[in-house]
Structure 1
Amino acid sequence: MRFSRVASSWRLHTVLFLLLAEFMTSSIAIGLEQSVYQAENQNILRVLLAVSSLPPTEPAHTPSSDSPPSATPTYTTMEANVLRDLHCALSIMQDHYFAVWLGKWTTAIDWTAAVMGTYVSATLSSLSRSIDYTIPGTCDKNRKLDAEAQMVEEEINRYFAQTVAYYFGEDHFAIRMQAFDDILWVVLGWLEATQFIENHSGSHYAPAGLGQQNGEGAQDWHASQFIPAFAHRARIFYELAEKGWDWNLCGGGMTWNPRLLPYKNAITNQLFISASISMYLHFPGDENCSPFLSQYDKSKPHKNELYDECDENSRGRFDPLYLANAVNGYQWLQSSGMTNELGLYADGFHIAGYRTNHSKTTCDERNEMVYTYNQGVILSGLRGLWEATGKILYLEDGHELIRNVIRATGWTDAKLFPMPAFTTPQRHQKRDSEKYNPANWSGLGSAGILTEVCDPSGRCSQNGQTFKGIFFHHLTAFCERLPARPVRPGKTHAASRETAMLHQKSCDEYTGWVVHNARAALQTRDENGRFGAWWGAPYSSHNSKESIQAPVLPDGAVDSRKSIDYEHIQTRATGDLNDRGRGRTVETQGSGLAVVRAMYEFLRRAEGDLDFDL
């Protein structure tokens, strides 16, 4: 049954999410009481999720020391209502933390705000796909919009208006002077917004000629008028970031911060790869030459100087320069030696002795610090590189990295870890299974829950509180179904039926782990529905806050990302392990939103919403 054909009322929309859990349960009873989602009525979520026989502060099951959590978790009837969790997580993030009159999340810093904006656009894309409807045109008197579709459309319009407010509230002048990774978060955020606008308008607003006489009633979504502005900002910041690439030091790669000693780190290079391929595939074009893009040569004669200058500087979709940058970036990243023995990306490379000897150019001093987001951002880049080149190795590398991450959380399901045999099953090295233990720290968590090294101690900074959500956002992008036909013949590629099905089957294998993490995150919510930072807190075997210690950092690890906040380490007088340090913030809420959206998208695909359309 196609996902988009189910909804005709809000009650049926709720029933749909019961069907999404069928792949995990042998049978399901459809008996939810009819209720209407209201943004101000967030606590209804907690009532629904508290039906389990266990108290809400306890996990649904306790992982044993010799076996990981089940790869097929059991969902109760009430717990299956994933879409409402998604609505609620978005509503709380915006209602609690976003100031419309300022156009910003007031407690965020510049780069985390850019990430929050990305989450809003991505979530609106999910809500847009959750129901099939067409907005009647202004002159169309024969069609009416049903109540459910109207509610979804109103909610999308409400939060898109806040995206517009953020466009004007974003401190883009300040970010221009920050490190290259900060600049690249801005690029990804506005490209996500333009993709959402194009997809929503194309899916729900009928173009002229589709059952309309003389185009009467035909209309684009009103948000389409903002595409040029969003695209222009993405282009400005991408062209600023391009300056961070150099071939002289370390044989290539992006420099993290031009005002510090050379540091070629994973996150900046992964962001450059993902932003470059996203510019190639999704940048809608930009003919605006002002401000900051003027390259006009006054020595040349021009009849219309402004027109000629703008025309000369215009750039469009499928610009081969973007693709070349992405390919070069990934080739350098792969050859840099930035992965450790667990197959995870370390933080980056310094040049030993460069402070006193600038003739040294080799990256030879690796920072062994491991962060969750360093394993995530590259995934959307690999998905895009496959579509742009058709080379299967990009999908292979992505699936291998995902499996390494899942293992490093202590999840040891034997069915998960053999690499999918696309073309070269022997190319990937096997990891030592003895390094992983579901009960102990395994590199990126324990008990199958993705964890930042600062989470157990409650010492995460705003940076550290943001990282896990970034991983799940890019994991979700990587596991989008592969196109059966090229989006642009000659510029992009399509998947064979075999490749598409193998990719989807592999992603389906991650569903149990994604759901496990989302459920853990949902259990950290307080009475106001706000997510905590340490999703593993309800699964902790510790009886007191005093007994909890942070995992030991690897030898040679330096917290250059400043994920640990040593200035806010006081423990509040509460038994809530997520109320220590900075407590609950817009960053923890954003990460919760990202993992719940990942659960929604993985469950939706696993339910069978696939059309290869060959």
Structure 2
Amino acid sequence: MLVRWVAVFASAAIAIAAPDITLFEDLLSALTVMQDAYFANWIGSWPEGNDWTRAVTGTYVAGALKTISQDMESVRNYTTTQLWPSYENILSRHFEELIGYYFGQDAFGIRNEAYDDMLWVVLGWLETIQYIDQQSEESGSIKEWHGRRWVPAFAHRARVFWELASRGWDQKYCGGGMIWNPRLLPYKNAITNELFIAASISMYHYFPGDDNPSPWNQAVEFDRDNRGKWPPRDPKFWNAAQTGYKWLQSSGMMNNEGLYTDGFHISGISEGSDNTKCDKRDDMLYTYNQGVILTGQLGLFKTTGDLKYLEDGHKLVRDVIKATGWDLRRQQPVDDLSKLKPGQLPPWQGLGRGGILEEACDISGECSQDGQTFKGIWMHHFTAFCEPKSLDVLSPRTIEHLGHYNARKARASHYGKCERYVPWLRHNAKAAMGTRDSHGKYGMWWTVGLINITMPNLVFDAPGILPPDLGKDDYRNRGVPMNNRTWVGIIMPNSTTEEEETRLSLFRGQGHRPQRFIYDRYDGDTRALKSRDGLSDETTRSDPNSRGRGRTGETQGGALALLRALWTLSKYGRVDT
């Protein structure tokens, strides 16, 4: 059984102001709409998702349930008795859906995918275990709640996929780091390494152990009395996280604005060069590359007491917020949105505009399924980093390293910095809510929900509106080109050599396809685009969020993660920490 760390600090005091019940209801509604519209009980999955976006969606559901379970008592005092039974029903219903997803998840198929795909699975089931722990505590006894029966199954899957993914750690190229996809030329990218750090330290914190040796590994012998037992708090997870973080920080992955670029190629490798250095950086920026590492930084601080992890995390958050065009000192956008002309957008700032988090692909309306998932991932890991109880429980090693006084000081400083981010979150939530349609479905491009722009009057050609050099290396939305030596080591997709055909056949099976990319094709035409939501042609042409893939399970999940972040952090304004 997992030996739990003892809480060395009291939790935040009793609320001194009423919670925002409307926000709580919006959170519940976003969750319910996502499951009603996109989850299919009969297959236990989100059928329009892909393997990794489904794993992320399951993580959102578990995180939302954890928050709802934690806050039900405080909300109870401000709601009618008629509403209260519905909250408990929501918890039971959506937890049952997570159980269904355990069986609906293509666990066999994901084993043959990229290493980042495997690590999303690890984080998802560890998040579900955290919810089970939370609900067990709220139920009054950690042994009584029926959901605990599923912990061994979820822990086993997390353990198996962590071990499978850890094979991606490579010392030959770049002096270390995780390879993204074993079917491509070596590419060391931010997300796979951040996931490895976050998943490893989360395994150290939340993995309760596993005594299930399946699937059998012929290279390992199991004795009859100890058939493949994996203990909790295994130092190998902590060591892996530290090693991964040290490599990432020294890799040169971060740009001059303090943001993580996407990754590194190794030049000349397709021509047979013996170069092993990461020397060809892909400078494309995605929001999720700035988010996953926050879970790793928090976990490493809680384990070691090294303040550098918290400092790095807060600097990254501040740099992200700055790159959306938000002034944290004045708590408002750097641009005066009231002075915008009809159809005008504020200028692009790096990861957004007008103080709103944005993907570079948002303005085109052609974000891929991957791209539609990114902002929600950022919000989920930001919530983990900044939630009000994030530093209430620390390891004995951390207390010994810092001492009780400095540990309390670090905790207070962390919470104070997190509270500063709430106005920016509220600004983003207001924008996202403006994208809801009549069915409660949220759009991808939050910015237009705040500025209230329709397609016919949207101005694309003003200076500074479009992100610079869009599409150059945006493989997450364009797809990896199969005729590119940088990625697959071939010149043409019709190559007849046996080696190149073998590589292409494996690659084609991974679902990576070139996608049409039109950032440089705007000429004022709103384009005739089909709607995924059965909207009229007129609505489709006028609503920027009905373009491309339209409103999807991924865009709904992003809004859910945003609303959860705001609800969770808004408690800083209601309690005495």
Q: TM-score, normalised by structure 2?
A: 0.80
Query: Which residue is 1:111 aligned to?
Result: 52
Tell me the SS of whatever aligns to 2:418: helix
How far did 1:456 drift? 1.1
Deviation at 1:408, TM superposition (A): 0.2
Contact 1:369 1:554 in 2 (8 A): no
The counterpart of 1:170, out of the listed 68, 81, 105, is 105
Relative to structure 1, the CA distance from residue 570 to residue 467 in structure 2 (aligned partners, 3 Å threshold; closer, same or farther) is: farther
Change (3 A) 1:609 1:233: farther
Question: Could you tell me how far apart the structure 1 residues matched to 2:41 and 2:195 are?
Answer: 29
Which of the numbers 498, 516, 519 marks the counterpart of 1:566? 516
Query: How do 1:6-17 and structure 2 match up within 5 A?
Result: none
Deviation at 1:481, TM superposition (A): 3.7
Change (3 A) 1:341 1:554: farther
Contact 1:461 1:562 in 2 (8 A): yes
SS at 1:234's partner residue? helix
1:3 and 1:394 map into 2 onto residues whose CA distance is 23
Matches within 5 A, 1:308-387: 308=225, 310=227, 313-387=228-302
In structure 2, relative to structure 1, the CA distance for the partners of 1:534 and 1:556 (3 Å cut) is: closer
Query: Aligned partners of 2:217 and 2:442: how far apart in 1?
Result: 41
CA shift for structure 1 position 296 = 3.8
1:510 match: 421
Q: Distance in 1 between matches of 2:32 and 2:12?
A: 24
Per the alignment, do residues 501 and 4 of structure 1 end up closer, same or farther by CA in structure 2, a change over 3 Å counting? Answer: closer
User: How far, CA to CA, are the matches of 1:200 and 1:467 in structure 2?
Assistant: 28
Question: Structure 1 residue aligned with 2:131, among 181, 191, 196?
Answer: 196
Residue aligning to 2:566: 599
1:307 corresponds to which residue? 224
Q: How does 1:236-315 map to 2 (within 5 A)?
A: 236-293=160-217, 295-297=219-221, 307-308=224-225, 310=227, 313-315=228-230
Which residue identity lines up with residue 307 of structure 1 in the other structure? R
Are 1:455 and 2:362 an aligned pair? yes
Q: CA deviation at 1:295?
A: 4.4
Structure 2 residue runs without a partner (length 5+)? 1-10, 75-80, 480-514, 519-526, 531-536
- Distance in 2, Cα, partners of 1:396 & 1:359: 38
What CA distance in whole angstroms lies between the structure 2 residues aligned with 1:224 and 1:571? 47
CA shift for structure 1 position 151: 3.4
| SS in structure 2 at match of 1:456 | helix
CA contact (8 A) 2:433 2:449 kept: no
Query: When the two structures are superposed, what TM-score results if normalisation uses the length of structure 1?
Result: 0.75
Where is the helix percentage greater, Structure 1 or Structure 2?
Answer: 2
Distance 1:258 1:595 in 2: 33
Per-residue deviation, 1:559: 1.1
Deviation per residue, 1:346-366 (Å, 9 max, x gap): 000000111112411000000
- Residues 326 and 291 (structure 1), Cα distance of their counterparts in 2 relative to 1, 3 Å cut: same
Q: CA RMSD in A?
A: 2.8
After superposing the two structures, state which structure 1 stretch, 285-294 or 229-238, moved more: 285-294
Aligned partner of 2:117 among 182, 190, 208: 182
What's the CA shift for 1:132?
A: 3.2
Q: How does 1:75-154 map to 2 (within 5 A)?
A: 81-132=22-73, 150-154=85-89
CA distance in 1, matches of 2:241, 2:269: 28
1:29 equivalent in structure 2? none
Q: 1:163 to 1:287 in 2, by over 3 A?
A: same
CA displacement 1:93-126 (0-9 Å, x = unmatched): 0001000111000100100000000000000001
The aligned residue for residue 551 of structure 1 is: 466
**Does the C-alpha gap of structure 1 residues 372 and 560 become closer, same or farther in structure 2, counting only changes over 3 Å?**
same
Q: 1:221 and 2:145 equivalent?
A: yes
| Paired residues of 1:296 and 1:309 also in contact (CA < 8 A) | no
Q: Structure 1, unaligned stretches of length 5 or more? A: 7-15, 22-79, 134-145, 208-218, 298-304, 418-432
Aligned residues: 492
1:129 is paired with a residue of what secondary structure? Answer: helix
CA distance in 1, matches of 2:62, 2:224: 33
Q: Partners of 2:399 and 2:290 in 1: how far apart?
A: 25
Distance 1:380 1:233 in 2: 20
What is the rounded CA distance, in whole Å, between the counterparts of 1:108 and 1:404 in structure 2? 31
